Structure 1
Amino acid sequence: MTKADIVNWILENKEVKASKRDVSKLVNRIFEIISEEITNGDDNHKIQISGFGTFIVKKRAPKIGRNPKTKEEKLIPERFGISFKVGKKLHRKLNGE
């Protein structure tokens, strides 16, 4: 699903009285806010969306990587990654409970 799909899905809801432009701005702003919160936090920073899930920023330890062609070892520095933990409500819905 793309942002455009989300905008169109919202517009198909008869209760929403907004232009496509306004809905698109809102969807983009929501993703901007989530991105800002993720990048402005420290390691182990969490963004919890009730009924949906939690985005967790995790620090990845440095490690030794290997070029598969040359077998040369190279240090991969520490970096941050994002994991997602599904919320209970979404998990139940996904499994038809």
Structure 2
Amino acid sequence: MNKAELVSDVARRTGLTKKDVDHVITTTLAVLGEAFERGERVELRGFGVFDVKKRGPRKARNPQTQESIQIPSRWVLSFRPSKSIKERL
């Protein structure tokens, strides 16, 4: 499902216009993105938890040259689904 399909589905279920739903979804995604940039944990009860975690540096190998390279540490976004979502899968 992409954003356009999500907007259409939510608009159909709620009776709101696609324009209004698109604005709400776009704003929600912007707010979530800002929270992630600040390193905040976002918990959506009944859906799951988004967490910003630091992945440590690690060694990797170029498969073409077999040269060993160092990958620096970086921040990654992780998602842990709620129990109810896990049960539905």
The answer, yes or no, to whether TM exceeds 0.5 is yes
In structure 2, the partner of 1:11 is 11
Offset of residue 30 of structure 1: 0.9
- Report the AA paired with residue 28 of structure 1: T
Runs of 4+ in 1 over 2 A off after TM superposition: none
Distance 1:57 1:31 in 2: 16
The superposition leaves residues 5-52 of structure 1 with CA deviations (integer Å, 9 ceiling, x where unpaired) of 111001111x43x322111111111111111111111xxx42110000
**For the aligned residues, what is the CA RMSD?**
1.3
The answer on 1:79 being equivalent to 2:74 is yes
The answer on 1:66 being equivalent to 2:61 is yes
TM-score by length of 2: 0.89
- Partner of 1:84, secondary structure, is strand
What percent identity do the matched residue pairs reach? 34
- Report the AA paired with residue 92 of structure 1: E
Segments of 5+ residues of structure 1 without an aligned counterpart are none
Segments of 5+ residues of structure 2 without an aligned counterpart are none
Aligned residues: 89
